């Protein structure tokens, strides 16, 4: 097993397959991605090797991220390869949803188990303001298609933004009243290039949590491979609501995930100062050297992300390694 010095086991790999994105979300890539960011992306054979190594070390869940992973023309092949590797029990995808309607059936046929779709507002004008796109109706229709598909789970990700969607809690709750989807409110995190934006738009997830508890929502127990969200349920709602609160006490205590970037770099944490280049280990089908390397470097993982000290590490934006 991959286990650090704090006895945390890592069963969940977030694998970015591109830094590029066709949306211009103002909290992530307001000016678009670096035009060179498609160069040197991790290849399909390299993906197979890195996932094989992680699986042999106890990883059970792979989440494909970006950027926008749907920009990879070989996305279906990537899903199929990941799902075929012994030990991998779940392959999930995080997407902005712009190709959800068109490609959902192909993803499911390739072996996709779950999908997270970013929807930062249920108001078309606000959605356009945040993302630079007028795609909200098509994306919401795609989410309904996904909820009716064989997928195990469908989640909607929403970054909390003061002045944009901060007053939409009632609308989002109504959205999940009759839909079997899991809504995720994600607390805005400070990165290397958004300090002023963070100061203007940050909303504490604790304020949402207090409102949920006051309205009789119940905190659920997490599974071993679950992400960092605190998930709540209510008997009057078919959907569930989760809160990802990186500034909350002991947020890192049960960390179970590692990240590999689309350039073949291992990130111990979303906000690490240094990354570990593992690309050289991905040039051979012999994954034993990579496994040994992973077991060695995991011992250097810190106990926490130090966000409370305004330490954002080398992460310039969330598109670098998929959030």
105-129: pLDDT as tens digits: 999 999 999 999 999 999 999 999 9
Q: Are 50 and 278 in contact (CB under 8 A)?
A: yes
Dump pLDDT digits (tens) for 85-96.
999 999 999 999
Instruction: Locate the domains of the chain by residue range.
Output: 12-320
Backbone angles phi, psi at 151, to 5 degrees: -55, 145
The pairing of strands 276-277 and 230-233 is unpaired
Confidence band for 227, pLDDT divided at 50, 70 and 90: confident
Non-local (6+) Cβ contacts of 73 within 8 A are none
pLDDT (mean) for 139-162: 96
Question: Residue 251 pLDDT more than 90?
Answer: no
Question: Residue 192 pLDDT more than 70?
Answer: no
Q: Are 29 and 67 in contact (CB under 8 A)?
A: no
Query: Looking at residue 70, what is its pLDDT?
Result: 96
* Alpha carbons 68 and 16: distance in angstroms, whole number: 9
Dihedral sign of CA atoms 167, 96, 80, 270 in order: negative
Question: Residue 249 pLDDT more than 70?
Answer: no
Average pLDDT, the chain: 89
Q: Are 28 and 270 in contact (CB under 8 A)?
A: no
* Alpha carbons 39 and 36: distance in angstroms, whole number: 6
* Alpha carbons 30 and 43: distance in angstroms, whole number: 27
12-320 classified as CATH 3.20.20.70:
yes
Confidence band for 39, pLDDT divided at 50, 70 and 90: confident
- Find the length of the chain: 323
Query: Looking at residue 32, what is its pLDDT?
Result: 72
Give the ranges where 168-204 is alpha helix by DSSP (H). Answer: 169-175, 195-201
Highest mean pLDDT: which of 39-43, 190-194, 300-304?
A: 39-43
* Alpha carbons 167 and 161: distance in angstroms, whole number: 9
Question: Residue 150 pLDDT more than 70?
Answer: yes
Query: Looking at residue 74, what is its pLDDT?
Result: 97
pTM listed for this prediction: 0.91
In terms of pLDDT, which residue wins out, 36 or 290?
290
> For 11-20, 119-128, 204-213, 250-259, which range has the lowest pLDDT when averaged over its residues?
250-259
Q: In what order do the strands lie in the sheet with 276-277?
A: 218-219, 230-233, 240-244, 182-187, 153-160, 114-118, 90-95, 61-65, 12-16, 257-260, 265-267, 276-277
* Alpha carbons 269 and 320: distance in angstroms, whole number: 12
Cis upstream peptide for 45 (omega within 30°): no
Dump pLDDT digits (tens) for 258-312.
999 999 999 987 766 667 999 999 999 999 999 999 999 998 887 665 555 555 5
% of the chain with per-residue pLDDT over 90: 66
């Amino acid at each position: 097993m991959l286990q650090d010095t704090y006895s945390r086991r890592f069963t969940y790999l977030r694998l970015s397959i591109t830094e590029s994105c066709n949306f211009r979300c103002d909290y992530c890539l307001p000016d678009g991605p670096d035009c060179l960011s498609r160069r040197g992306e991790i290849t399909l054979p390299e993906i197979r090797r890195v996932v094989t190594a992680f699986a042999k070390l106890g990883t059970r869940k792979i989440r494909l991220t970006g950027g926008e992973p749907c920009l990879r023309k070989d996305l279906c092949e990537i899903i199929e390869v990941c799902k075929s590797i012994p030990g991998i029990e779940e392959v999930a995808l995080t997407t902005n949803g712009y190709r959800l309607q068109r490609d959902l059936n192909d993803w499911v046929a390739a072996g996709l188990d779950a999908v997270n779709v970013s929807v930062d507002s249920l108001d078309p004008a606000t959605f356009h303001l945040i993302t630079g796109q007028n795609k909200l109706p098509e994306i919401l229709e795609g989410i309904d298609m996904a909820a009716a598909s064989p997928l195990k789970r469908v989640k909607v990700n929403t970054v909390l933004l003061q002045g944009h969607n901060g007053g939409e809690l009632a609308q989002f709750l109504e959205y999940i009243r009759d839909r079997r989807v899991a809504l995720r409110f994600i607390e805005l995190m400070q990165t290397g290039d958004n300090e002023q934006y963070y100061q203007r738009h940050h909303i504490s997830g604790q304020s949402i949590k207090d409102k949920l508890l006051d309205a009789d929502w119940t905190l659920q127990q997490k599974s071993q491979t679950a992400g960092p969200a605190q998930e709540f349920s209510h008997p009057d709602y078919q959907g569930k609501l989760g809160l990802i609160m990186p500034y909350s006490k002991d947020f890192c205590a049960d960390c179970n995930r590692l990240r590999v970037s689309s350039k073949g770099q291992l990130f111990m944490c979303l906000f690490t100062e240094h990354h570990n280049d593992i690309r050289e280990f991905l040039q051979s089908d012999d994954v034993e050297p990579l496994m040994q390397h992973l077991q060695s470097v995991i011992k250097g993982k810190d106990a926490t992300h130090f966000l409370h000290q305004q330490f954002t590490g080398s992460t310039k934006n969330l598109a670098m390694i998929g959030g």
